[in-house]
């Protein structure tokens, strides 16, 4: 910790989620006070269990679709389910979290005259017609499809951020997050890395949608959190949007084969029909992040997957112990 820096009270919405919990830990490590807000739809207490005894950490159960009246110095707005399994479970609530939640958090930032970071997504690009995707690309999104609650919700949130900036002079930071993975993902997360790892660890068939040629770029969570933090600390004139993700591209088939190799799994690969509006390719152009933030990802896929697999193995073991025990009450996974 740099003791010359001002200690800030920082609000992290979605702070008990996958990314939010890692961000809370980083901010605490730097000596800041953290107010973690989560409604626990996808967030879990286990993710922040190690932080609860920290005197600088405060947990508040709250849904940001309702107004929040607190006093803070900065806001990271990460609240929103991010995997299709979760955001399609209640699509209306997903849209409300992105849109109404953004209005509430921007209103708070306006009242307090503080800066606010929006965790947007590469999904704003939809099924892209340019490759790799630059921040100037407007996207190719189906506004009435099954993914629209998330895609269009995040696009509208970006609109609100820039309108609050232009109309009310709110200091904003908008980051477009590309596929991220690592510890604190849920067993039933529904995203491709967690799905493949769980299937491999159980020696089940690894289900690939389509022919396996569609691509994604995978960023390890530690690198992602570093990018979010660098963006928040950047020059006032850098509003974004800024792509944060790993530009190294892999096909779904390559990802499955890597996970089978690392786990030593006996899993076979099974091909299934591609879901509606599923992007065929996804790769960030991170030129702006490199130039303006000095940020590039450092952890390659093999190392990141190894760490993630170790985490999932422990989760499975803990869950098995809990289910087989009649004497000990373990915390819910």
Label each residue of 9-51 as H, E or C.
Answer: EEEEECCCCHHHHHHHHHHHHCCCEEEEEECCCCCCHHHHHHH
Decide if 204 is inside a domain. Answer: no
How many C-beta atoms surround the C-beta of residue 311 within 10 A? 15
- Give the CATH number, domain containing residue 155: 3.40.50.720
Token couple for 52: 């609860």
Its pTM surpasses 0.85: yes
Closest CA to 119 of 65, 46, 173, 59: 173
Helical H segments across the chain, by residue range: 18-29, 45-48, 84-87, 91-112, 148-168, 192-201, 221-232, 252-263, 287-288, 301-324
Structural domain that includes position 172: 9-181+219-246+278-299
**Distance between CA 45 and CA 21 in Å, rounded?**
9
Pairing of strands 249-251, 215-217: antiparallel
What's the domain count of the chain? 1
Decide if 91 is inside a domain. Answer: yes
Check if 69 is active-site: no
pLDDT tens digits in sequence order for the chain, 333 residues long:
555 578 999 999 999 999 999 999 999 999 999 999 999 999 999 999 999 999 999 999 999 999 999 999 999 999 999 988 889 999 999 999 999 999 999 999 999 999 999 999 999 999 999 999 999 999 999 999 999 999 999 999 999 999 999 999 999 999 999 999 999 998 888 889 999 999 999 999 999 988 999 999 999 999 999 999 999 999 999 999 999 999 999 999 999 999 999 999 999 999 988 878 778 889 999 999 999 999 999 999 999 999 999 999 998 877 664 665 444 333 322
Decide if 63 is inside a domain. Answer: yes
Looking at 150, 164, 181, 220, which residue is catalytic? 150
Contact 60, 31 (CB under 8 A): no
**3-class state of residue 64 by DSSP:** coil
């Amino acid at each position: 910790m740099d003791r010359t820096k001002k200690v800030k009270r920082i609000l992290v919405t979605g702070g008990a989620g996958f990314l939010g919990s890692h961000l809370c830990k980083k901010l605490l490590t730097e000596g800041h006070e953290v107010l973690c807000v989560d409604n626990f739809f996808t967030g879990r207490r286990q993710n922040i269990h190690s932080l609860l005894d920290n005197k600088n950490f405060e947990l508040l159960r709250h849904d940001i679709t309702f107004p929040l009246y607190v006093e803070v110095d900065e806001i990271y707005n990460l609240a929103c389910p991010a995997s299709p399994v979760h955001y399609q479970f209640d699509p209306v609530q997903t849209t409300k979290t992105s849109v109404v939640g953004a209005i509430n958090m921007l209103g708070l930032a306006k009242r307090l005259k503080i800066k606010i970071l929006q965790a947007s997504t590469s999904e704003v690009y939809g099924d892209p017609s340019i490759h790799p995707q630059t921040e100037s690309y407007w996207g190719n999104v189906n506004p009435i499809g099954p993914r629209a609650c998330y895609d269009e919700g995040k696009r509208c949130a970006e609109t609100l951020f820039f309108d609050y900036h232009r109309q009310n002079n709110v200091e904003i930071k908008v980051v477009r997050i590309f596929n991220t993975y690592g510890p604190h993902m849920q067993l039933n997360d529904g995203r491709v890395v967690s799905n493949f790892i769980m299937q491999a660890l159980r020696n089940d068939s690894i289900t690939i949608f389509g022919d396996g040629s569609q691509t994604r770029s995978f960023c390890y969570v530690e690198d992602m959190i570093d990018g979010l933090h660098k963006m928040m600390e950047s020059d006032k004139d850098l509003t974004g949007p800024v792509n944060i993700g790993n530009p190294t591209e892999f096909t779904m088939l390559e990802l499955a084969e890597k996970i089978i190799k690392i786990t030593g799994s006996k899993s076979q690969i099974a091909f299934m029909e591609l879901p509606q509006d599923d992007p065929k390719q996804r790769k960030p152009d991170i030129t702006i992040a490199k130039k303006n933030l000095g940020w590039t990802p450092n952890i390659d896929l093999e190392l990141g997957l190894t760490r993630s697999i170790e985490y999932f193995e422990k989760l499975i073991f803990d869950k098995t112990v809990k289910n087989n025990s009649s004497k000990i009450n373990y915390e819910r996974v």
